A and B are shown apart, each in its own frame.
Chain A
Amino acid sequence: GAVVSQHPSRVICKSGTSVKIECRSLDFQATTMFWYRQFPKQSLMLMATSNEGSKATYEQGVEKDKFLINHASLTLSTLTVTSAHPEDSSFYICSARDPAGREPTGELFFGEGSRLTVL
């Protein structure tokens, strides 16, 4: 079963509204979670690293005031797309690292993704 759960899986909103996406680690505590965005036929692009109890670290070119990230607990991170525009339409995926995972650095598990469509 999924070890990282993301909700909602699909959302359609009007331009100018805000949308919140939740990412939960189900079987482990994640001090760090990652938010990616994927446009059609393109690679996953890391948007930001979400750190529990502190500010997120944003990648170059990602507006922190537009993509608000909150990591209030060890199992939950949220991404809020504020004042959404059609160009924000994309597939947003969160991930978390399980320190006990099979990778040398801890396996990275992905949420199911959230497909955002802004009209």
Chain B
Amino acid sequence: RKEVEQDPGPFNVPEGATVAFNCTYSNSASQSFFWYRQDCRKEPKLLMSVYSSGNEDGRFTAQLNRASQYISLLIRDSKLSDSATYLCVVNYNTDKLIFGTGTRLQVFP
């Protein structure tokens, strides 16, 4: 079983739609959780951290369920510019990040 699992997609949604991605992790000792965004052939960039209480940044909402060991990302009012691969990332200690394979999102007009 992979340490971090994501549905690779692609998720094809129209502009303005709401889309949600889930991610599961296997190690219950995981400490920190993040969503990164990666555009095609580019480096990943931090989108947002994920906190136990859930957190929101504009159109993006992230949630963590430690009991079920999953993380979610909700994108509201999708924009064409949201098209990218979204990487779920888990941290066991301060140095090592474990990346999921990513979920590809394609927003169409």
Cβ contact within 8 Å between B91 and A110? no
Interface members, chain A 3-53 (any B CB < 8 Å): 6, 32, 34, 36, 41-46, 49
| Contact assessment for B43 and A93 in the assembled complex, using a CB-CB cutoff below 8 Å | yes
Q: By DSSP majority rule, is chain B's interface helix, strand, loop, or mixed?
A: strand
Contact between A43 and B4 (Cβ–Cβ < 8 Å)?
Answer: yes
Which of A64-72, A77-85, A99-107 contacts its partner? A99-107
Interface residues of B (CB under 8 A from A): 4, 8, 32, 34, 41-46, 49, 87, 91, 94-102
Instruction: Please tell me if the beta carbons of A46 and B101 are within 8 angstroms of each other in the complex.
Output: no
Q: Chain A interface (Cβ within 8 Å of chain B)?
A: 6, 32, 34, 36, 41-46, 49, 91, 93, 102-108, 110-113, 115
A46 and B4 contact, Cβ closer than 8 Å, known pairs A103-B34, A104-B49, A110-B44? no
- List 8 A-B pairs, minimum CB-CB distance, nearest first: A110-B43, A43-B101, A43-B99, A44-B99, A105-B94, A113-B43, A110-B44, A112-B43
